[in-house]
Amino acid sequence: MKLLKLTWSYLRIGIANEMQYRVNFFLQLLQSLVALATGLIGLWLVFSQTTNLAGWSQPELLAVMGVYILMGGVIQAGIQPNMQRLMEEIQEGSLDFALTKPVDGQIIVSIREFRFWQLTDVLVGFVVLVIAGIQLERQVSLWQALAFITALLLGGAMIYSFWLMLTSTAFWLTRVGEMVNLFQGLYAAGRWPVTIYPDWLRLTLTFLVPVAFAVTLPAEALTNRLTPLTLLGALGLTIVLLVLARIVWRLGVRSYSGASA
């Protein structure tokens, strides 16, 4: 309960902060639309040469792109800013201020930052999903909608855990600013369903760096490909990743020696 109130407070501060800069909303929207346009052009180029890509039709791949944009918005708004701040604080030794708070350290470093305007991508992604749904000409059943939302939540949790593990390497490596680029490169693989990649790459993108899997999973729910077994497996994977991230974080904090304050 206390944690929920805390999260809400940070969220409100984040929103209030961004509300000061309203023009940024339009600039952000413009950037989201430019990104959408390039994505659509890429898709259109592929389908000007062929009618299906590894068994995925054009509207189905549009759904994948919708999830990709939507999830990207969530990452940019809530996950990445926190992780970047954490990276800086570990490097500069000012993480003490977070660790000495009377709440669990991992929770506090994960909720401090919130970039409200980045949610334009969530909006754009949602619109793309709706258009893909119309093109698919298929009724979305209640079970599908539920599976989609579950898959989305699981995907978000997977990406969060993976990001936290990447960031925690800063406890040992100190300077890890390049990780942002590394993560974004890997996340870009999610633009296409993982099933199109060669086996070794597909397994890597599912189990080792589950970022692309996190995007494909909800898209599979919408396009009738998701079996209950896969969803269950994804749940298992998410739990494993959350626990792993927790362990890595704890080990990292133990070897942290701040020099500020």
Partner 1 sequence: MRRHIDFYLASMRIAVLEQIQYRAQNYFYMIGMIAEPVIYLVVWSSVANQQGGSVGGYTAGSLAAYYIVWTLVRNMNIVFTPYGWEWRLQHGRLSAELLRPVHPIHYDVAYFAGWKVVVIVLWLPLAAVLALIFKPTLNPTWLQVLVFFLAIWGAYLLRTMFLSLLGMITFWTTRVGAIYELYFALELILSGRLVPMTLMPAWVQRVAVFLPFQWTFYFPINALVGKLGPQELLSGLGMQLLWILGGIGLVNIVWHYGIRRFSAVGN
Binding residues for partner 1 (CB under 8 A): 23-24, 27, 30-31, 34-35, 37-38, 41-42, 45-46, 48-50, 52-54, 173, 175-179, 181-186, 188-189, 191-192, 196-198, 201
Write down the least CB distance from residue 202 to partner 1, Å.
10
Write down the least CB distance from residue 158 to partner 1, Å.
18
Nearer to partner 1, 60 or 111 (CB): 60
Nearer to partner 1, 117 or 148 (CB): 117
Q: How many CB atoms lie within 10 A of CB 10?
A: 17
Write down the least CB distance from residue 137 to partner 1, Å.
24
Say how far apart CA 114 and CA 111 lie, in whole Å: 7
Write down the least CB distance from residue 91 to partner 1, Å.
13
DSSP 53: B
Write down the least CB distance from residue 1 to partner 1, Å.
40
Residue 139's SS3 state is coil
Query: What token pair was written down for 15?
Result: 């929103």
The alpha carbon of residue 39 and the mean position of all alpha carbons in its chain are separated, in whole angstroms, by 18
Query: What token pair was written down for 117?
Result: 């305007």
Say how far apart CA 115 and CA 14 lie, in whole Å: 6
Nearer to partner 1, 25 or 126 (CB): 25
Say how far apart CA 251 and CA 51 lie, in whole Å: 50
Nearer to partner 1, 73 or 133 (CB): 73
Residue 221's SS3 state is helix
Q: How many CB atoms lie within 10 A of CB 178?
A: 8
Nearer to partner 1, 139 or 181 (CB): 181
Say how far apart CA 66 and CA 60 lie, in whole Å: 10
Write down the least CB distance from residue 79 to partner 1, Å.
17
What backbone torsions phi and psi does residue 53 show, to the nearest 5 degrees?
A: -115, 110
Nearer to partner 1, 111 or 128 (CB): 128
